[in-house]
Amino acid sequence: MAEYDLSKTIIPYLDRHLSFPLLAHLVETGVFSADEVQVAQYELAKGTNMFDYAASLFEQIYPNQEVPKEFEQKRVNAVSTHERLQQEAQAVLDVIENPDVAQALRQDKNQNLQYLKDNYKLTLDQITALYNFGKFQYSYGNYSGAADYLYHFRVLSTDPDLTISAHWGKLASDILTGKWDIALEELNSLREAIDSRSPAPFASVSSNTNNTPAVDPALSQLHSRTWLVHWSLFVYFNHPQGRALLLETFLSPTYLNTIQTSCPWILRYVAAAAIISSPTPTSKSTAAPQSSRVKNAVREVVKVIQMENYQYTDPVTSFLMQLHVEFDFEAAQKELQQAEKVVSDDFFLGDFHDEFLESARCLVSEAYCRIHQRIDIGCVLTHSAFPFLDIRRYSDLSNRLNLPRDEGEKWIVNLIRETRMGQDAKIDLEKNLIQILRPPQPVYQSVIEKTRGLAIRTQTLGAAIARTGVAQAASTASAPPSITQPVAVN
């Protein structure tokens, strides 16, 4: 399964520290030999300030060799740096933790800065010390401490570059400490920062792309987005609401473009998330209402996968392809078997193995039912876990589903009851068939469907026209007195 392992592709887009969990996971799955992975871990750790960890890794890899001296030396250095930075940062922290100060701080950063400067003689350099200390703490693995300092720094600092950097640092710390709610917040604010930071220069540059300097803002935005996409995987696949949010984010045009342009392999996660969050008979439909984007996720994802087929395929995406583009159920079944392995080995998707399988089965059965009228139950079984099963080959079904006989039947009945198909499907045990009765939609029904929204739409329209008239009258009346800045109507 090594060929489908994405760790190698993903790691370049991650922070050094974020890569450790991935490597640790690789050791567990055993896709690669443990020794190699350990060497990789060691190499990774060497670049950080986590000397103890690096040293222990070294011992594991080369049991008979002595741990290099440089670690000791570096540790001494690090300790001294730590002390120095802590002192610097402490000064600021003392001031900030003063309740008076906390009250006096406002939204406006410049004003805050002025206030601190006037009353407590805090300079910008001192505030930057917070950043440095936070960064240092992060580098030796004290993530929660780092998160604290970076948070304070971000509140105070006005330097846009460092603020963004602090954002990233905070996000990484939150991810590594496993505080998913906070991380999600952080992720969203970072996303906003990235999205909002660049448009202005981007627009001006796109008009005259001829004389751009070395770094194109559009390009750097693309880079940041690519990184964000990768980092957010940690959050989205751990937060309870994560999958839906992932679909919301990644299927929005900007991020979809990012994925298509720079990292098509993320499509695996998008596809998996779409499959997982598609409704299944076992997941009660009482769950939180989903947005239309999530609802139609599978369809959209299929479209994208089809478009990017030439760039990236793996079992998960080709499962969807076979199912919804080629309608080749046998091939889909094969791909599903592959995909199952891929998912269980994947760092992010591993936990969702069961859900994935369940949802995938549902997808298959739904598609199958919609197309077929009479289904030989035996045949269904060979394809996948279908709702309408032939009892003749019951044992076969059980094998396929890995379900005991009784449960298999229950599962099928559940499916019939719960699938959104809503159609009348009946098991004919005598003939080993499932009959799906699909009464054609009556004409009056479709007429009602078509005209349903019209009244409301017309009302809104009328209201809008009335308002326009009033507003225009009002605006012409009150036009002269103050000439304010024109507001562009979006």
Partner 1 sequence: MSRFFRQAGDSDSDSDESEELMSSGDEAPQAKPPTGAKTAMSRFLRKTGPGADSDSSSDSDSDSDEDSDSDSDVPKPKKGLPLRSDSEDSETEEEEDRQGIRIMSAQEKRLAEMEGTGKAMENALKINDWVSISNEFDKLARMIQRQHNVSEPIPPFYIKTLLSLESSLTSAIAKEKEAKKKMNATNAKALNSMKQKVRKAAKEYEQDIAKYQADPDTFERDYTALITRDAPPAPTVARAAIGTAAVTNEDEDGGFKPVGKGGRTMLLTAEGIFKSLQAVQEARGKKNTDRGEQIRILEKLLELATTTYQRIRVLLALVSSRFDYNSSASSHMPTELWISAQNEVDQLVAIVASNPAFIVQEITEDYDDLVERSPASEKGGIVRIRGSIISFIDRLDDEFTRSLQNIDPHGTEYVDRLKDEKTLYSTICRAQAFYEQTKQDDPLSRVVMRRLEHIYSKPDAVVDALESSAESADIKPAITLTSSGSTSALIHSLCVYLYKSGNSLHRTRAMLSHIYHYALLNDFHTARDMLLMSHLQESIHSADVATQILYNRTVVQLGLCAFRSGLIKEAQATLQDIFTTQRVKELLAQGVHQQRYQVLTPEQEKAEKQRQLPFHMHINTELLEAAFLVSSMLVEIPLLASIDSEELKRKAISKPFRRLLDFADRQVFTGPPESTRDHIMQASKALQDGEWEKCRDLVQSIKIWSLMPEAASVKEMLAKRIQEQGLRTYLFTYAPHYNTLSLSLLAQTFSLPLRSVTSIVSKMIWNEELAASLDQAGGCIAFHRTEVTRQQQLALIIAEKVNSMAEQNEKALDAKMGTSGGWGDRADGKAGEKRGEQVQERRGRGDRTRGGSRGGGRGRGARFAQGLGNQMGHTSQRAG
Chosen residue from 209, 213, 288, 422 binding partner 1 by CB under 8 A: 209
CB neighbourhood size of 461 (10 A): 10
Q: Residue with structure tokens 């580098």?
A: 139
Chosen residue from 3, 64, 215, 454 binding partner 1 by CB under 8 A: 454
Chosen residue from 76, 79, 102, 474 binding partner 1 by CB under 8 A: 474
Compute the distance between CA of residue 119 and CA of residue 113 in angstroms, rounded to an integer: 10
Helix/strand/coil for 158: coil
Compute the distance between CA of residue 284 and CA of residue 416 in angstroms, rounded to an integer: 14
DSSP H/E element including 433: strand 433-437
Compute the distance between CA of residue 199 and CA of residue 250 in angstroms, rounded to an integer: 19
Q: Which is nearer to partner 1, 113 or 379 (CB)?
A: 379
In the DSSP assignment, the letter for residue 278 is: S
- State the minimum distance, in angstroms, from the CB of residue 396 to partner 1: 16
In the DSSP assignment, the letter for residue 292 is: H
The piece of 9-17, 57-65, 69-77, 461-469 that touches partner 1 (CB under 8 A) is 461-469
Q: Contact between 287 and partner 1 (CB under 8 A)? A: no
* CA 280, 333, 306, 202 torsion-angle sign: positive
What residues have CB less than 8 Å from 102, skipping those under 6 apart?
A: 96
Tokens found for residue 324: 């919804």
Q: Contact between 461 and partner 1 (CB under 8 A)? A: yes
What residues have CB less than 8 Å from 410, skipping those under 6 apart?
A: none
Distance of CA 440 to the CA centre of its chain: 40
- State the minimum distance, in angstroms, from the CB of residue 433 to partner 1: 6
Chosen residue from 39, 67, 367, 403 binding partner 1 by CB under 8 A: 367
Chosen residue from 405, 447, 466, 469 binding partner 1 by CB under 8 A: 447
Q: Contact between 458 and partner 1 (CB under 8 A)? A: yes
Q: Contact between 203 and partner 1 (CB under 8 A)? A: no
Chosen residue from 328, 335, 404, 405 binding partner 1 by CB under 8 A: 328
Tokens found for residue 38: 């350990």
- State the minimum distance, in angstroms, from the CB of residue 69 to partner 1: 46
Q: Are 432 and 391 in contact (CB under 8 A)?
A: yes
Q: Contact between 12 and partner 1 (CB under 8 A)? A: no
Q: Contact between 326 and partner 1 (CB under 8 A)? A: yes
Q: Contact between 288 and partner 1 (CB under 8 A)? A: no
DSSP H/E element including 332: helix 329-345
Chosen residue from 371, 404, 407, 426 binding partner 1 by CB under 8 A: 371
Chosen residue from 327, 354, 395, 424 binding partner 1 by CB under 8 A: 327
Q: Contact between 78 and partner 1 (CB under 8 A)? A: no
**Residues making contact with partner 1 (CB under 8 A):** 206, 209-211, 253, 261, 292, 310-311, 324-328, 330, 367, 370-376, 379-380, 431, 433, 436, 438, 440, 443-444, 446-447, 449-454, 456-458, 460-461, 463-465, 467-468, 471-472, 474-476, 478-479, 482-490
